[in-house]
Structure 1
Amino acid sequence: MAMRRLVAAALLACVLLPMASVRGRNITAILDGYKEYKLYNKYLSETKVCDEINSRQSTSMSILVLSNDAMTTLASDAGDSLPAIKNALRLHSVLDYYDRKKVKKYGDESAATLFQATGDAAAATGNVKVVDQDDKNYGFSAATPGARICTVTKEVETHPFKFAILEVTAPIEFDGLFDTPAIANLTLLLERAGCKVFAALAVKTGVLKTYEDAMDKGLTLFAPNDDAFQAKDAPDVKAMSVANLTKLLQYNALPAYNTKTSLKFVKGSLPTMAGTKAAVKVVAKGDDVSIDTGKAKSRVADTVVDSVPFCLMTLDSLLVPPELYVGAVEAPAPAPADAPQASPPAADAPSVPADHAADHKTKKAAKSSAVAARPIGALAAACSVVLASLLL
C-alpha cells in the first residue's frame, strides 16, 4: 500500500510540474491580464528585459512591478531614455524568490538583480535590500545607504520558491542608475571592437550613414572581426562593386532592435537591411547564438553596445548573401515577377514572442495557452486513471 502511495505521488508531480512551468515563464503574457501594469509591460517588451526574464527558466525570480502611475514616474525620472529605463527594469528583476512568508521568516537580506548580473552596475549597486517592515509589511530598497523603502502592496502572483510578481509602491532608484554610455562615434566603436575592415568599408560605401540614421529607430548591427575577411570562403571585398559591397554591409544589419538573448526567441526568418528577400535565421543552442544565411552560420561572439534601440554585436565570420559567395555571379538576376512574396513582418516582430504584439494580445495568449494545455491535459487524464487504480 505504501508503495502504491509513493507511485501515486510521483504521478501527481508529473501532472503538476508541467502545469506550473507553462503558467510562470512568460512575464509579458502574465502581465497582459493586468491593465494596471500595461505601461510596465510595454517597457519590458521595448527594452527586451522580458526576454532576459523569460530566458532564466531555471532561476528563482521576483519581478517588482509598478502601477501605470508609478511607471510614469520612473520613465520621467529616467528622462524617457530607453537605455536608462532598461537599467531600472533590470534592477526591479530580483534573482531570488520572495513572498511575505519568506521575508517574515528570514528577515532583512541583500539580493542580486538582473542589473547586477549584467555587470553594468558599479560595485554592488545593482543589488537590492529586502526589508522586513512592521506588522505584515515588507519591501525592497536600493543597496545604497538611506535609500527609500518601496513597500510591497500586492502579491500579484506567487509560485513558491520559483517565481513571484510583486507590486511595489514606487520605483527603486539611486544616483547613477540612469547613467548610460554615450554613443558618439560608431566608427570608433567598431574599430575598438576589432572590426576595422568593416568600419572602413562602411565609411567607403556610405552605409555608415545608413547605420547612424537607423540607430535611433531600431538597429541590430553584426560586425565581423578583421580575421573574418580573410576566411577561405569570404568574398574579395577589394574586387567587389560598390553596389555589392553595399548589399554585403546591409546584410549584416537588422532594421530592428535585438539583443543576443532576444535572438534566442526568434522563430522564422529575420529581414536584413538588404531587404525582406535577403533574410537570415537564428540558430540557438544554450548560450550560443549563430546567424544562418542558408549557406553558412556565423557565431555571435560579444555584445559591444546594448543601448536601446541599438545593439552592436561582433561575429566570428562575415554574413554573406548567398549570391555574393566566391564563384557566384557578380550581379545576381532579379527574382521572377510571378514569385509569390509574403508580406514583410513588422520591424520588431521577429524578436518578440507572438503574444507580445500590441494588437490581439488576449486572443493570442489564450490560443497559446490552449495549445500548450493539450498535451498536459492528455497527461493529466492518463495519470488520473492510473492514480485511481493505485489508490483503490
Structure 2
Amino acid sequence: MSTNLQSSPICKLLLLFILQCIITTTTVAQAPAPAPSGPTNITKILEKAGQFTTLIRLFKLTQVGDQINTQLNNSNQGMTVFAPTDNAFSALKSGTLNSLSDQQKVQLLQFHVLPQYLTTSQFQTISNPLRTQAGDSASNKFPLNITSSGNQVNVTTGVMDTTVSNTLYTDGSLAVYQVDQVLLPMSMFGPQSPAPAPAPAKKKKSGADDDTPATDDSSPSADASGAVGFGGHVRGLIVGSVGVILFIALICL
C-alpha cells in the first residue's frame, strides 16, 4: 500500500512542492542584503577601506567628517581627501595630538582636504601651493605642494614629505587618497619665530638732580622759620614798650 502511495501522481506533486519550497527558502536566506543607497559618506568609505580608525575618530570628534559630507552633498565643486593610515598617526611623536587645542585639531584635519575634486592625472598640471580647507596657503601658514612624476604623486608641506600610496575611492565628485604620513602644516609644526628682544631699560639722567636729596615739604625752610621767629620777637617788644609808656603816662597825670 505504501508503494502505491509513493507512485501516485498526487504524492509526486506534493513532494515536488515541498522540495521547491525548501530550495526557495534556502536561496532567499543566503542572498546578501542590497547595499544601502544614499549620499556620499566619508566615514563609511574609510570604514570599508580599513586601517583608518584614528582618522575616523578625529573626523567624528571635530565634526570635520560631517562638514565634508555636507559640502559634498550640497555642492557640485567636489573634494579631495588625503587619508593618513593608523600607522601614520602612530609614527607621530608621543603626545602630539594631545598637545593640540580643539581648534588646531580641526585645522590639522582640514589641511588634509582640498575643496576641489582632483584625479591623479590632474596633479601634473596644478599650481602650487594648493589651498586646503584649513585656509591661508602662505609659506608660513598652510602651504600644500603636490607634484607628480610618472605614477608617483609627492606631497610636501614644508615640514614633511610623503607620497600617495593608494587610491581608496573616486566617483567624479570625491577622491580619497591614502598617505602614509600625517600632513603637518607649517603654522603648527614648523620652526617657531624667535621671540622679540626685550626693550632696553631706561637710563637715569646724569646731573646734579641725581645727588640732590629729597626735600621734606612738610618741614618749613630755614629762611621761613627764621622770619617767623624774628617777627614774633619784634611784636613782643613793641607791645611791651607801648604798655610801659602808657603806664608812665598814667602815673604822671
Q: What TM-score does the superposition give when structure 1 sets the normalisation length?
A: 0.35
2:124 to 253, 259, 264: 264
Aligned equivalents of 2:88, 2:62: Cα separation in 1: 19
Q: 2:57 aligns with which of 172, 176, 200?
A: 200
Secondary structure class of the residue paired with 1:275: coil
Give the corresponding residue for 1:306: 170
Which residues of structure 2 form unaligned runs of 5+? 1-36, 194-253
Paired residue type of 1:281: N
> 1:253, CA displacement in angstroms?
0.4
CA 1:228–1:276 in 2, change beyond 3 Å: closer, same or farther?
Answer: same
Instruction: Give 1:235 deviation, angstroms.
Output: 6.6
Q: SS of the residue aligned with 1:244?
A: helix
Contact kept? 1:269, 1:281, Cα under 8 Å:
yes
SS of residue matched to 2:87: helix
Q: Structure 1 residue aligned with 2:43, among 187, 196, 203?
A: 187
Structure whose alpha-carbon radius of gyration is higher: 2
CA distance 1:187–1:305, shift in 2 (3 Å)? same
1:353 equivalent in structure 2: none
Per-residue deviation, 1:324:
2.1
Structure 1 residue 238 displacement after superposition: 2.7
Mark the CA change 1:238 to 1:301 in structure 2 (over 3 Å): closer, same or farther: same
Between the aligned partners of 1:302 and 1:291, the Cα distance in structure 2 is: 13
Deviations 1:264-306 (A, max 9, x none): 2223211000013323111222110011102211211111111
Q: Would the aligned equivalents of 1:228 and 1:234 in 2 still touch at CA under 8 Å?
A: no
Counterpart secondary structure, 2:178: strand
Q: Does 1:280 align with 2:144?
A: yes
Equivalent residue runs for 1:1-392 within 5 Å: 184-193=40-49, 194-216=51-73, 217=75, 218-232=78-92, 236-277=96-137, 278-325=142-189
| Gap change, CA 1:250 and 1:232, over 3 Å in 2 | closer
List runs of 5+ in structure 1 lacking aligned partners.
1-180, 330-392
Structure number having the greater strand percentage: 1
Instruction: Give CA deviations for 1:231-267 in whole Å, capped at 9, x if unaligned.
Output: 2458721332110000000000000110122112223
| Contact 1:233–1:325 (Cα < 8 Å) also in 2 | no
- Tell me, in whole angstroms, the C-alpha distance in 1 between the residues paired with 2:71 and 2:121: 21
3-state SS of the aligned residue for 1:238?
Answer: coil
CA contact (8 A) 1:257 1:311 kept: yes
RMSD: 2.5
